Amino acid sequence: MKSRNIWEQVPAPLELHEDARGKIVDVFYNDDIAHVAVIVSAPDVVRGNHYHKQTTQHMLITKGAMEYWQKPVASEEPATSVLLKKGDLITTPPNEIHAMKTLEETEFIVFTSGIRGGKDYEQDTFRVDSIVPE
């Protein structure tokens, strides 16, 4: 898992441009994005509890907040979490179990590198028991 706020951490070769009109920030540059989806979740909803063998997902929070839970597939350790808020971008690599618990109505955009999207949605999705503590 990699996490950053797109407005606060802009690693090269990405750029942030700001003037009197506002801001423009690069989110991706020379990345192979195969699918993009927008998800809106009600408060106190758990999504995910799965992993992908071939797919990398990038999630950009555009509204709200959530707990992001993760652990490597082969790990016996409990899952760990980070709090994500508006502007945060988190990258989920292959073979990382992940789940999200919304804390309020939350909207996020999922950018996918791999075969998970459209009619291939379930092709690289492997469901597991919940990693989010009760």
Domain count, the chain: 1
Structural domain includes residue 79 = yes
Query: What is the number of other CB atoms lying within 10 angstroms of the CB of residue 14?
Result: 14
Structural domain includes residue 119 = yes
Query: What's the domain range around 47?
Result: 2-13+35-127
Structural domain includes residue 133 = no
Q: What is the pLDDT of residue 62?
A: 97
C-alpha to C-alpha distance for 85 and 102, rounded to whole angstroms: 10
Read off the pLDDT of residues 18-38 as tens digits, 9 standing for 90 and up: 999 999 999 999 989 999 999
Structural domain includes residue 28 = no
| pTM (two decimals) | 0.89
How sure is the predictor about 116, in pLDDT bands with cuts at 50, 70 and 90? confident
Structural domain includes residue 116 = yes
Say if residue 1's pLDDT is above 90. Answer: no
Read off the pLDDT of residues 50-78 as tens digits, 9 standing for 90 and up: 999 999 999 999 999 999 999 999 999 99
- 15 Cβ partners below 8 Å, 6+ apart? 25, 26
In 3D space, the residue among 102, 93, 95, 115 whose CA is nearest the CA of residue 63 turns out to be 102
Structural domain includes residue 70 = yes
